[in-house]
């Protein structure tokens, strides 16, 4: 079983920690994805921003460039409808355009719908597992050759407590997909431990005020929740040189002091 531990979000990388590094982020225009992308760019990384919303990608691109950070690379892609051939193409375009890949953050996710398994809608089940689990597997597989070439490659799967405590009723496809990510991480970490320097971990950011959260909990006041920028530091730590001590771990963001 993967080791579970807390990781502080109060992290600032060294000035040159991400200089010349290339990091691919899925779900890049979401709350957490966007916050992490901007922090990575501020730390010197060239970020490949992947998402289905082209307009939002262009807006994120503009914000990073306006802040005088390294120019990001836009990659519009709808993970829900992506086919087997689309994922190797992502890796190939990164290799041709940027020449390297040092980190991969899976931040894309969809909630599906809470319902008993007996009554769960088949189409929703398929779409949720496709975005949250199948796409993460296929993109990771496609990018592994590039990540192996890095001197400190890192893969981070954004997870959730439901994936580690999957006994909760009515969690549906979302809980199952997160449990699958935890299993994928453990298997991949064991396979890579003796053959490469690539580190693989899952990170549960906790309850964060994102658009995904607001969609499923519309009566919640987002101002009462942890903000995306407050957890971004934990992702940067795992993607950078200071995260090398973590491998095969099911990590959670340490709650801020009350």
Catalytic residues: 174
Nearest alpha-carbon partner for 173 in 214, 206, 209, 133: 133
Tokens of 122: 């088949």
Residue 174 buriedness (CB in 10 A; 0-12 / 13-18 / 19+): buried
| Integer Cα distance of 62 and 179 in angstroms | 36
To 10 degrees, the CA torsion angle through 147, 148, 152, 153?
Answer: 30
The answer to whether 45 touches 18, Cβ cutoff 8 Å, is yes
Q: What are phi and psi of 165, to 5 degrees?
A: -130, 60
């Amino acid at each position: 079983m993967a080791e579970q531990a807390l990781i502080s979000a109060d992290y600032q990388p060294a000035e040159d920690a991400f200089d010349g590094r290339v990091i691919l982020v899925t779900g890049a225009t979401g709350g957490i994805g966007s916050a992490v992308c901007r922090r990575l760019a501020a730390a010197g990384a060239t970020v490949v921003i992947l998402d289905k919303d082209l307009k939002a990608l262009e807006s994120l691109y503009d914000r990073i460039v306006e802040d005088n950070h390294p120019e990001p690379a836009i990659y519009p892609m709808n993970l829900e409808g992506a086919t087997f051939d689309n994922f190797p193409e992502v890796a190939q375009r990164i290799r041709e355009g940027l020449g390297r890949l040092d980190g991969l953050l899976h931040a894309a996710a969809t909630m599906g719908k809470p319902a008993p398994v007996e009554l769960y809608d088949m189409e929703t089940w398929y779409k949720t597992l496709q975005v949250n689990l199948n796409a993460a597997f296929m993109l990771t597989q496609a990018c592994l050759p590039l990540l192996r070439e890095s001197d400190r490659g890192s893969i981070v799967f954004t997870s959730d407590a439901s994936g580690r405590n999957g006994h909760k009723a009515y969690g549906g496809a979302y809980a199952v997909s997160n449990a699958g990510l935890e299993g994928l991480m453990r298997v991949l970490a064991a396979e890579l431990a003796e053959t490469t320097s690539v580190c693989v971990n899952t990170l549960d950011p906790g309850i964060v005020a994102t658009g995904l959260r607001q969609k499923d909990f519309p009566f919640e006041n987002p101002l009462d929740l942890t903000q995306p920028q407050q957890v971004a530091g934990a992702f940067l730590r795992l993607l950078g040189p200071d995260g090398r001590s973590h491998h095969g771990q099911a990590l959670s963001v340490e709650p801020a002091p009350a």
